[in-house]
Amino acid sequence: MIVTDTHTHLYSDAFDDDRAAMIQRAIDNNVSRFFIPAIDSGYTDSMLQLEQDFPNNVFLMMGLHPTSVKENYKKELAHVEEMLAKRHFYAVGEIGIDLYWDTSTLAIQKDAFKHQIKLAKHYKLPIVIHCRDAFDEIFEVLETEKSDDLFGIFHCFTGILEQAQKAISYNMKLGIGGVATFKNGKIDQFLNQIDLKHIVLETDSPYLAPKPYRGKRNESAYIIKVLEKLSELYELPQEKIAEVTTKNSKDIFNI
């Protein structure tokens, strides 16, 4: 069984004391593929080091996270462009719109999101979308960029069924993580109405730990709890969930 964590911040300082041991715990639990989203230029060196330390397991993305879209965002976008031109990444992400922390930057968040979608199309790469309190705004941008070469993952999907179906209509897989195990997470109420071919697994570690670890530091090994929950919801063996979701990740990231 091969399990893929399509979204994990393994470079986070939350792992500074036990990073190698934490990654080994995941590998021991059959979680052997880790896709690493970017945040901003301040994390690039840590990401590259992580790839160097775990070359067979770590796959990097490049992008500017919406909460890092500030006054200097054009300089940050120039860094994203420079890195994409320099070497291969597996996605442009995580990118999108976040209105939970700051609504005043909506205009420049939209601009950064659109710009990075165009970069992804240029390099024929998937996008990995961060959406918080911003479904309408995200869909508005995706509608303007809709095309055969727009595809990717709607990371940490927490919407309703109609929003899930709309995301899928833009060639997006749904990134499902710890929220699926929460009592008030709600996505567990309709997830099995969505064909498994549209689903990938993720942790977003060190954030959003699944039950029974909720409120603690998340890590990639805990994705097994998400796998167990989907096995229950879809009434399929865990091995089948792992097989299909890993295939979906390969279709998206091309590795």
CB atoms under 10 Å from CB of 144, counted, come to: 10
User: What is the pLDDT at residue 122?
Assistant: 98
CA geometry: angle 7, 82, 50, nearest 5 deg: 40
100: left (phi over 0), alpha (psi -120 to 50) or beta: alpha
Write phi, then psi, for 107 (nearest 5 degrees): -60, -45
- Report the residue count for the chain: 255
Contact by Cβ (8 Å): 219, 26: yes
Residues 6+ apart with CB under 8 A from 39: 9, 64, 65, 68, 94
> Helix, strand or coil for residue 241?
helix
Max Cα–Cα distance, the chain, nearest Å: 49
**Tokens standing for 32?**
């052997």
Query: Cα dihedral sign for 178, 67, 36, 161?
Result: positive
pLDDT digits (tens, 9 = 90+) for 7-46: 999 999 999 999 999 999 999 999 999 999 999 999 999 9
Output the pLDDT for position 58: 98
Q: What is the pLDDT of residue 206?
A: 98
The pLDDT of residue 225: 98
Tokens coding 175: 């990134």
pLDDT number for residue 54: 97
Q: What is the pLDDT at residue 20? A: 97
β-partners of residue 127 are 92, 152
Hey, what long-range contacts does 236-240 have (CB within 8 A, 24 or more apart)? 236/196, 238/1, 239/1
Instruction: Indicate the Cα dihedral angle 203, 206, 211, 215, nearest 10°.
Output: -150
DSSP3 helix / strand / coil % (the chain, rounded to 5): 50, 15, 35
- Residue 125: the pLDDT is 98
- Residue numbers of the chain with a pLDDT score lower than 70: none
Q: Would you state the pLDDT for residue 78? A: 98
